[in-house]
Structure 1
């Protein structure tokens, strides 16, 4: 068990913690929930950095890391959609979660065909992740409504993340298209 894998497992373990905090009846639960999510988000960056720096990459880490990220983001977005009950949040959440499912399935299928490298993580995906994580932290830290300027910033960042989400999905699908087309009838 490597340090990066432990950090990834910690990220998964933090999901129930921020879910519980999200529903606490305390006034400061917003900041607590956002802090736990921010800590989990930081472990995403940290585990990758340590894995590369110390040469601790592993097949288990390559599997667990994206699973942890997708679980964390999907759970947070679903909770935010429930709390904010707004199409301004529901539509971006739908796009982000749909893209994550689509690209995960694409990566799995491409790996089965021996072409996983064609859909590896790109810089666009990293920018998307940074925007969406920051947006989620901001939105978790604030009560619903447009009264607070930070909430507006969170929504704008989430919209920017959606643009990068669609852009990265297009890049991944375009890279995989020749293989998809060649294997469509098999």
Structure 2
């Protein structure tokens, strides 16, 4: 199997995950900014690998498999880090619930797509605009939250903006999940 440029970018995104986790937890000045930069770089490769695959006609079965896995790993690992960095206050509870909604939807939609592919109806649940909007909102929210995860007093407003964006991303997550479920519903009722 020959690995093309878009797939290398996806593999690079996966390789950035342990780097981001390490930098997030290392106790040095600016670790949050460095972790946010690493996450931003990974987010850019998420867009770039898909763009190049379509633009240069460099799609591959391995790339089509690996890209959504890398995306979900990136989001889930980051959400877990952010939830773990919270205390047991209301903000932490809200973060945990929001993360559970986002990760739960990702697992559910992945399972739905896999099942639809098994019955030969994968195109029924292809990515919709609301899914792309949800992803963009998640990435921006997560970048802001990584930057401000220590919740310094002077940056608390920015942190709350990140929380608000993540809640909005969770709403879009539910909406897009319902969109995919509605598209697959006729096949689910077929029994």
Give the TM-score band, short-chain normalised: over 0.9
Q: Give matches, 1:127-138, under 5 Å.
A: 127-138=133-144
2 CA distance for matches of 1:162 and 1:93? Answer: 8
Q: Give matches, 1:72-83, under 5 Å.
A: 72-83=74-85
Match of 1:165 in 2: 173
CA RMSD of aligned residues (A): 1.1
Q: Contact 2:82/2:146 (CA < 8 Å) preserved in 1?
A: yes
1:152 and 2:142 are equivalent in the alignment: no
Q: Contact 1:84/1:145 (CA < 8 Å) preserved in 2?
A: no
Could you list the runs of 5+ residues in structure 2 that have no partner in the other structure?
none
Deviation at 1:51, TM superposition (A): 0.7
Could you say what secondary structure the match of 2:149 adopts?
A: coil
Q: CA 1:67–1:175 in structure 2 vs 1: closer, same or farther (change >3 Å)?
A: same
1:80-120 deviation digits (Å, cap 9, x = unpaired): 00102301211110000000000000101110111000111
2 CA distance for matches of 1:108 and 1:130? Answer: 23
Q: Give matches, 1:30-179, under 5 Å.
A: 30-85=32-87, 86-145=92-151, 147=153, 148-179=156-187
Q: Scaled by the length of structure 1, what TM-score is found?
A: 0.95
Could you list the runs of 5+ residues in structure 1 that have no partner in the other structure?
none
Moved segments of 4+, more than 4 Å: none
Could you say what secondary structure the match of 2:189 adopts?
A: helix
Q: Contact 2:82/2:149 (CA < 8 Å) preserved in 1?
A: no
Q: Contact 2:83/2:96 (CA < 8 Å) preserved in 1?
A: yes
Q: Scaled by the length of structure 2, what TM-score is found?
A: 0.93
Deviation at 1:54, TM superposition (A): 0.4
2 CA distance for matches of 1:84 and 1:128? Answer: 23
2 CA distance for matches of 1:143 and 1:36? Answer: 15
Aligned residues: 183
Could you say what secondary structure the match of 1:55 adopts?
A: coil
Q: Contact 1:128/1:164 (CA < 8 Å) preserved in 2?
A: yes
Q: Contact 2:131/2:172 (CA < 8 Å) preserved in 1?
A: yes
